[in-house]
Amino acid sequence: MADTTDSNTAEFDPSSPPPSSTIANASVFTKNEHDIERAIPPDPEPELQYPVLFSKTFCQRGDPEVKKARMVYLRSFLLGLFMVVLAMFSIFSIYWGSLWKIPAHPLEGWIVDFDEGVVGQAAIAALPNSSIIAWRIIPGTEFPGGVSEIMDKVKDDQTWIAVAVNQGASSRLEASIVNPDPSYNGADAITVYAAEARNENAYRALIRPFMQTTLDIFALNFATQLAPQLSSAPDIASLLSTSPQTVVSPVSYTIVNLLPFDQPVASAVAFVGLIYCLILTFFVVMIAYGAREESGINKMLTYRSLVIVRLVTSTLGYLALSFCYTIFNLAFKLNIWHRYGSVAFLLFWMLNWVGMCSVGLALEAVISILTPKYVPFFLILWIIVNVSVSVYPIDVLPRIYHYGYAAPFYNVSNSIRSLVFGTRNILGLNFGVLIAWVVVSCITLPFIQLIVRRKQEAVQNAAIIARRRAQEKRSPVVR
């Protein structure tokens, strides 16, 4: 049978090239396809939505975001205000309680009768125990050194006040009555010794006013009782003309301030300046805390290294700060040289340093657990606890305030008074108490830091476990 296949139809040969017309059509199609893609604009990228700032009011209604923020703000503010009120009633009461019943107990005073005559007996009878001073009557024979020995004991803080009825007071008065003496002075009969620098508040508010009032009454009563006897004397006219003071003021007194508080700038150093020093140490604590947070060494260093860094940087910081504080006080002409000489500067510097460490390291220890949010409440407590026992003598405060003998402010103030005014030298005891506070802080700081570090490690381990579990959920196990 003849082959009837159309000559225009050929078998497909995969090795043969496509016809030119096919290539041309394909190129035209591809070109048109690209033209269409270029003609269709791409989908626009979603526009980022930024929050609109500074556009709402506090009392705006209908906005859930403002409502939520307002509730958080009010809750935080009112809670903080409640804590401040609670601190006022609980912490301020410590200071108010130290002052509202002054004196809660009397100061100790001595009556030393060197006269052993009419004047001495009258003086003893005129000075009974009171709420301000509890008297102890001591015979003059116990002071072989005389008045100078009494003065030394007052300076040595063995008594707050000593009333000496001077030897021969009665005999001099009797002699002036018999033979009028124009040089007779009734104030030579009684001498009162006290030391203002030991506690200027007690001297000015308690000791001096009480003694002036009591002895003025005694002198007036003594003169009143003596007047009838003198009026019947045959030579009363001669007595009035020659020695009228014998009649008008037969007995009087003299108050001797053995250690006057004669440097007003010392009040800043011995009391108010202690509060400022505590606040300065608080600044150092906050600066160190911020530096650790900013640098990240809290989470970078080992426990031992972090404790060493905190203790060393704080103590060295207080060393430099105390040096500047010492120079600052000397610039205002604080005289610390008259008792301890050239070593006084070193003593004053070391006192300021140890004092700052005693209060500052306590803040450094508690900030780890209280955090900067709550450590100001401890700061207020720390100030009030120290100030409450530094205004008046602890002897006149309620018994609960006897903790003050171990308070940093009390010991620093005592040492400053010894340096500046020459009061009793108990620098060794004062430094010992302050160093004990430093040791306590050096023990509590590592302990608190250990607690905080374990909490941080527990949080970190919990986060690692949670992350691993999340990865396991995203990555199914292949079996």
Residue 456's pLDDT is what? 86
92/398 Cα distance (integer angstroms): 16
Q: Which residues have a Cβ under 8 Å from the Cβ of 299 and sit 6 or more positions away?
A: 456
Residue 44's pLDDT is what? 60
Residue 61's pLDDT is what? 87
Residue 48's pLDDT is what? 64
**Cβ–Cβ contacts within 10 Å for residue 134, how many?**
14
**Could you report the per-residue pLDDT of 188-218, keeping only the tens digit for each?**
999 999 999 999 999 999 999 999 999 999 9
Contact 422, 259 (CB under 8 A): yes
Strand partners, 138: 112
Residue 73's pLDDT is what? 94
pLDDT top residue among 354 and 1: 354
Q: If pLDDT is split at 50, 70 and 90, which confidence band does 26 have?
A: very low
Residue 12's pLDDT is what? 45
On the question of pLDDT at 479 being above 70, the answer is no
DSSP state, residue 136: E
Residue 114's pLDDT is what? 95
Residue 400's pLDDT is what? 95
Interval 294-311 mean pLDDT: 94
447/366 Cα distance (integer angstroms): 10
Q: If pLDDT is split at 50, 70 and 90, which confidence band does 7 have?
A: very low
Strand partners, 256: 193
**Amino acid found at 177:** I
Contact 282, 364 (CB under 8 A): no
- Burial environment of residue 18 by CB neighbours within 10 A (0 to 12, 13 to 18, 19 or more): exposed
Interval 306-328 mean pLDDT: 96
Where does 296-343 have alpha helices with state H? 297-300, 303-331
Select the highest-mean-pLDDT range: 36-40, 42-46, 78-82.
Answer: 78-82
252/230 Cα distance (integer angstroms): 18
Tokens of 298: 């809290």
20/28 Cα distance (integer angstroms): 12
pLDDT top residue among 138 and 40: 138
Interval 148-177 mean pLDDT: 94
CA–CA distances in Å: residue 195 to residues 42, 108, 157, 416, 417? 96, 13, 9, 15, 11
**Cβ–Cβ contacts within 10 Å for residue 214, how many?**
19
437/60 Cα distance (integer angstroms): 53
Residue 40's pLDDT is what? 56
Strand partners, 317: none
263/197 Cα distance (integer angstroms): 10
pLDDT top residue among 65 and 437: 437
- φ, ψ at 275 (rounded to 5°): -65, -45
State the DSSP string of 70-133.
HHHHHHHHHHHHHHHHHHHHHHHHHHHHHHTTS-SSPEEEEEEESS-SHHHHHHHHH----SSE
Tokens of 43: 């989908």
**Could you report the per-residue pLDDT of 381-423, keeping only the tens digit for each?**
999 999 999 999 999 999 999 999 999 999 999 999 999 999 9
- φ, ψ at 136 (rounded to 5°): -120, 120
- Give a three-class secondary structure readout of 366-378: HHHHHHHHHHHHH
Q: Which fold has domain 107-257?
A: abc type-2 transporter like fold (3.40.1710)
**Could you report the per-residue pLDDT of 82-122, keeping only the tens digit for each?**
999 999 999 999 999 999 889 999 999 999 999 989 999 99
DSSP three-state, residue 7: coil
The sign of the torsion formed by the CA atoms of 366, 414, 326, 434 equals: negative
**Could you report the per-residue pLDDT of 243-260, keeping only the tens digit for each?**
888 888 999 999 999 999
pLDDT top residue among 361 and 13: 361
On the question of pLDDT at 125 being above 70, the answer is yes
DSSP state, residue 137: E
Tokens of 249: 């003021």
